[in-house]
Structure 1
Amino acid sequence: MSDKWVLGIIGGSGLYALEGLEDVRKERVHTPWGEPSGPLVKARLHGVDLVFLPRHDEGHRIPPSHINYRANIDALKRAGVTDILSLSACGSLREALPPGTFVIVDQFVDRTFAREKSFFGLGCVAHVSMADPVCSRLAAMAAHAARAVKPKKVHEGGTYLAMEGPQFSTKAESHLYRDWGMDVIGMTNMPEAKLAREAELPYASVAMITDFDCWKVDEPHVDVTNVLEVLHDNAAKACALVSEVAKTMSKTPRSPSPEGIERVLDHAIITPKEHRDPEMVSKLDAIAGRVL
């Protein structure tokens, strides 16, 4: 395994470009799963190779349920990305996590239902572990970077409830998720995190809080207008956060992730070689070529 970092950044709502990049070039990457959200932006930042992909495309033209998550992860893998940092707008389900807070997510609950959630399927079946869905090393780097850029608050650890959308929650749903112990709510980190794990790519998520969803009686219910007001400030700090992560990586030789994510497929594929569908196997060239 190379000791060189290639940092993949997936930008969420309000984050359609990064600042301070050098040697910038755009590249269209085609995948067996269709087209990713847009061209990959390849660049360098503080000496670290970086690949940026806005998940909603420039101009925010793709809604959450229509994002081609498989193509996005496949394209980043083909581009040589070693680690993925997701930056996402989200709502807060906790009084202690006000708008402007950056939450370094460490768990997910997936309530989406209209999305393709695996690269594997008929002809080649695999089951990867998602017990610890986030790379602890990358999450620690993100937390360190977040503290350096000084958002309203940095909260390490938290459970992200992924809803289907595109509508925001009802009050009943919002209160239910609070009762379940969820911390933040968003529409895009699933199946993104699951697919990153299948692709053997360490993944971490910074959830940038824009609102209190609709559970808090003394706050306006979430709508696009009040979300956009917070997004602008969050996006500027998100760019600074990426810069800080790159600075840390520039001083740190890359070694295997603490969770061994780069080899998670070693014991995940259950379909014997003689029963695998060749067409499916060919589609998995970038994702699982190492083991297939």
Structure 2
Amino acid sequence: MLGIIGGTSLLFADLPPLKEEVVATPYGKATLHTGDICLLPRHQNCLPPHRINHRAHLAALKILGVDRIVAFGSVGSLKVEYQPGSVLIPKDFISWSGIPTFHDTTITHATPGFDHDLIIALSTTHPDIRIGGTYVQTSGPRFETVAEVHALGKIADMVGMTVASEATLANELGIRFAAICTVDNYANGIGDESISYDTILAAAKEGSRRTSHILEKIVREL
């Protein structure tokens, strides 16, 4: 079964009939919308990135039989060439802190990463999509400083606050995972405009029709 992780705006896409379902897991409850697919709103109860219960989310998807996940994520661009409005499928990710795990009581070393076959399949869902780049995760909820952005830009191409956690947990559960990242802003200090949560929301709203189109094609083809 296909699992989709993203913002609540994805619920407005033209999807198969879905019903709301609360799933109890050893890590807490998660609310999903289920049917032919499982749709998981990431920011349940309006929680900011650093408070999201990723373990409950991924455990719930596993319980419901999800074997592949596509996550939609908003990112800030660390490179001038990745302009706001771009759609990127990262090939790898970086995060040194704040990554949750299911292995708190066992010594288990998983090798994380995105699923190559899913990446290739997703790249055909819209002509604007580009494959490539490295996603770096910061903990949030604050934006990165100009100095941090300068340093991160030497090792990555886009910055976000959630996808690396989701990808790592999916890997631990044996679930194939890939992400579609919409560039909603330049990271702090890259562009001329100041960034705020409101400007990011406005950019996401502007691109919502394209995002819905991509999602609908994923549901039909994956």
Q: TM-score, normalised by structure 2?
A: 0.94
Task: Answer yes or no: is the 8 Å Cα contact 2:101–2:169 preserved in 1.
Answer: yes
**Could you tell me how far apart the structure 2 residues matched to 1:23 and 1:246 are?**
12
Q: Which has the larger radius of gyration?
A: 1
**Could you tell me how far apart the structure 2 residues matched to 1:119 and 1:18 are?**
32
**What SS does the aligned partner of 1:191 have?**
helix
> How far is the alpha carbon of 1:16 from its aligned partner?
4.8
1:222 equivalent in structure 2: 195
**Could you tell me how far apart the structure 1 residues matched to 2:201 and 2:81 are?**
21
2:18 equivalent in structure 1: 24
Task: Answer yes or no: is the 8 Å Cα contact 1:145–1:245 preserved in 2.
Answer: yes
**Could you tell me how far apart the structure 2 residues matched to 1:112 and 1:15 are?**
29
> How far is the alpha carbon of 1:162 from its aligned partner?
0.1
**Could you tell me how far apart the structure 2 residues matched to 1:111 and 1:18 are?**
35
**Could you tell me how far apart the structure 1 residues matched to 2:29 and 2:49 are?**
15
2:2 equivalent in structure 1: 7
Deviations 1:76-103 (A, max 9, x none): 0111111000001110011111011111
**Could you tell me how far apart the structure 1 residues matched to 2:16 and 2:146 are?**
45
1:120 equivalent in structure 2: 103
**Moved >6 Å (runs of 4+):** none
Deviations 1:168-200 (A, max 9, x none): 0110001111122x1000011121111000010
1:267 equivalent in structure 2: none
Residue-pair matches, total:
222
Paired residues for 1:85-234 under 5 Å: 85-113=70-98, 117-122=100-105, 124-130=106-112, 133-147=113-127, 153-180=128-155, 182-216=156-190, 218-234=191-207
**What SS does the aligned partner of 1:226 have?**
helix
Task: Answer yes or no: is the 8 Å Cα contact 1:93–1:212 preserved in 2.
Answer: yes
Percent identity for Structure 1 against Structure 2: 28
Deviations 1:244-292 (A, max 9, x none): 122223xxxxxxxxxxxxxxxxxxxxxxxxxxxxxxxxxxxxxxxxxxx
**What SS does the aligned partner of 2:18 have?**
strand
**Structure 1 stretches of 5 or more lacking a match?**
1-5, 44-48, 148-152, 250-292
Task: Answer yes or no: is the 8 Å Cα contact 1:8–1:52 preserved in 2.
Answer: yes
2:67 equivalent in structure 1: 82
1:57 equivalent in structure 2: 44
**Could you tell me how far apart the structure 1 residues matched to 2:177 and 2:12 are?**
19
Task: Answer yes or no: is the 8 Å Cα contact 2:87–2:129 preserved in 1.
Answer: yes
Task: Answer yes or no: is the 8 Å Cα contact 2:170–2:176 preserved in 1.
Answer: yes
Task: Answer yes or no: is the 8 Å Cα contact 2:13–2:215 preserved in 1.
Answer: no
2:32 equivalent in structure 1: 40
Query: Please, which moves more after superposition, 61-70 or 229-238?
Result: 229-238
| Aligned alpha-carbon RMSD (Å) | 1.6
